[in-house]
Structure 1
């Protein structure tokens, strides 16, 4: 993996060992979401009670709980 940075951090796609993102600092928090746009990355810290997901995930959760979603 010749494209690993000399310092900092890298996210590597395991299937083909491709570096998909590099960044200098790792977030100093317990939970965060990483956003990647091209070669740039940013982190958004998450509170302990925050849940993230797609609208279809939340719809399925509500339906499984017995709610009718229209």
Structure 2
């Protein structure tokens, strides 16, 4: 269970840091709004694998991860 939470946190911080680096000129209020919005997205990305107790490196998930990263 710990690795699913760790991967959720990793997805959350990577997506948020990417958003901050790419979106120049936005105010702090917009950044904090996105901070809240990325958490449910990160949870929903990991929840199916955690519920089914599938390894995150399973071949069923690797293709989706490759598409998501690209």
For this structure pair, what is the TM-score category when the shorter chain's length is used for normalisation? Answer: under 0.3
Higher strand fraction: Structure 1 or Structure 2?
1
Structure-2-length-normalised TM-score: 0.23
Q: Which has the higher contact order (CA 8 A, sep 6+)?
A: 2
Q: Which has the larger radius of gyration?
A: 1
Structure-1-length-normalised TM-score: 0.23
Higher helix fraction: Structure 1 or Structure 2?
2
